[in-house]
Chains A and B, each alone.
Chain A
């Protein structure tokens, strides 16, 4: 993956190359002779500069920067034009040392003025100014790019998190469906055992007794048989009744889970708990229950951390278009609430189903989760 600073470094290299080409061009056109030494120094200068951008470690970079300045100064004796290469280096040096550029780097860039021959003075100042503007603009652009980059990174993180949460929710739904079936089966078998099982057993006993009595005392036997018929009828009636009253099991599961968790909590900590609910609980789907429970757990954690509470009440209410779940403690509350990860987590959880979370600290601490639903 490309770092955002690559682009600006390329632009810096381009700028330096342009300067170098300019000075070399000037030297070629002037009368001063081109010695092999000159060519060697130009090549050396080129390679140190490339090295500068390849290195990552600050101290090495510093060394290389000083080295290329040294080479430039060495060439200065015969080719005074080389001095024009210095501003860019001095700027970079300043940025290594000072971090913030501006006045420091512009002062540093003015030092070589002491060496510059009179006829080059104006050109030097011009180049220095251009360099300063060019590099500062690059720096600005660089910072902006870096800001956008980190923002992008953050947003990707957020997306990832939301995605994971969604997947968790889907997984939970699948599991909930399965558990639902299991629990339903258990409940049915319990009911069959409790009601119909007992009825059938007692009917059976009476019929067996009747069978033995039928020859000795037929009146008594027919009484017993009547009884058995009556019990069997009642049994059938109770099967019908059980099937009819069968509640949608999500409600029982949700409420039971809440109770279980709240009981566990009050066993562990010296805090009184009260769980109440009103309205038609059938409208709360497993995924809603999960969000309500997770937010309740989070609210409990918060309460244990900050509130200094001795009692907490949990209320789940199904309104015509909204499900409302509130966890309220009797602690000292808090005037202005600073959102931590806990609250943000609750908000995100609720947001996956279009819900909202209100945290209030005016009377104790309360967390209200509002979830819309379609009846």
Chain B
């Protein structure tokens, strides 16, 4: 079943088109990455999916139901972690989660239990009585997530949840995204950090200027721009290099040798590192380092748009 289905969505601010006839569908159980530079239209799309903004045109369905016709259902099905922190500084961590879970419709003992559970989930159970004022940036982000997941939503939408935090909190958050996914939630994860998206997402859409320019798994996206990988081998000397034999290994396309490096370009889908190294060793070439480079999502974006994901 499609957890989220967006059909020809357009959002205009005056004459400016922020989201441009965008269609996509997110299957149940996925961690769906929404990757694009700042200002590409990620947040605008997310805000329309969470009914914070109205669409100029197009339709959005959550589990097959139109979100404007079934707004109550849609709101309960979604947990939204906004990019700008949405927590109250003068309420304790527990009160914050309690308050938001209450908004999503939880009551009584269930509400209390869920709030504690959510705080445990993000690792803030021991700080539940503290005020967010005393929290670090990463802890505030985690509390922000706890507020959105206490009601156990089917679909969790996270808008740049790792902006401006330390690497440790970042890892913690990435791990909790995986855990949330395993416990049955579908996740939509927007980011302009391609490493994060590459690390956790099973399906990725690349968005630029309000349009989806490519969509698929990591491997599918990379296959759009190249079917080659680069193997770079550092050696003591390339004197005894068995050039012709190297070229005859399955998958190898070109071999370039400088004084101490061999650059091999090879078909990406064939794993031929072992035979290459065995051949070099057998011919008496002394290997000092091996590096296999596959293109990154950054390269995919760069190749398709001519620009980088981050602001320069």
Contacts and interface: CB of A to CB of B under 8 A. Distances in A.
A binds B: yes
Interface of A: 319-322, 324, 326, 328, 336-339, 356, 358-360, 362-363, 366, 368, 370
B224 interface: yes
Contacts of A358: 208-209, 211, 213, 305
Given A320-B227, A328-B306, A359 B16 contact: no
Contacts of B224: 319-322
19 contacts: A319-B224, A319-B226, A320-B226, A321-B223, A324-B304, A328-B306, A338-B15, A338-B16, A339-B20, A358-B305, A359-B209, A360-B208, A360-B209, A362-B307, A363-B307, A368-B304, A368-B305, A368-B306, A370-B213
A339 B17 contact: yes
A336 B41 CA distance: 12
Contacts of B53: none
Nearest to A336: B16
A360 B223 CA distance: 24
A319 B303 contact: yes
Given A356-B213, A359-B209, A320 B225 contact: yes
A363 B223 CA distance: 27
Contact of A370 (B15, B17, B304): B304
Contacts of B304: 322, 324, 368, 370
Enumerate the 5 nearest inter-chain pairs by beta-carbon distance, A residue then B residue, closest first: A338-B15, A321-B224, A320-B227, A336-B16, A319-B225
Contacts of B20: 339
Interface string B1-38: 00000000000000111001000000000000000000
Contact of A366 (B213, B303, B306): B306
State the majority secondary structure of interface residues on B.
mixed
Contact of A360 (B16, B226, B307): B307
A326 B304 CA distance: 10
Nearest to B37: A362
Contacts of B227: 320
Interface of B: 15-17, 20, 208-209, 211, 213, 223-227, 303-307
Contacts of B305: 358, 360, 368
A205 B56 CA distance: 80
B249 to A, nearest CB: 21
A275 to B, nearest CB: 16
A147 to B, nearest CB: 14
Given A320-B223, A324-B304, A356-B213, 5 more contacts: A322-B224, A322-B225, A336-B16, A360-B208, A360-B209
Contacts of B223: 320-321
A13 B74 CA distance: 46
Contacts of B306: 326, 328, 360, 366, 368
Output the residue of A322, A356, A363, A366 with the most chain B CB within 10 A.
A356
A320 B214 CA distance: 13
Contacts of B17: 338-339
A328 to B, nearest CB: 7
Contacts of B209: 337, 358-360
Nearest to A362: B307
B310 to A, nearest CB: 13
A339 B17 CA distance: 8
Contacts of A363: 307
A366 to B, nearest CB: 6
B130 to A, nearest CB: 43
Contacts of B225: 319-320, 322
Contacts of A359: 209
A296 B223 CA distance: 26
Nearest to A351: B21
A322 B206 CA distance: 15
Contacts of B307: 360, 362-363
A356 B211 contact: yes
A90 to B, nearest CB: 38
A359 B15 CA distance: 15
Contacts of B15: 338
Nearest to B268: A320
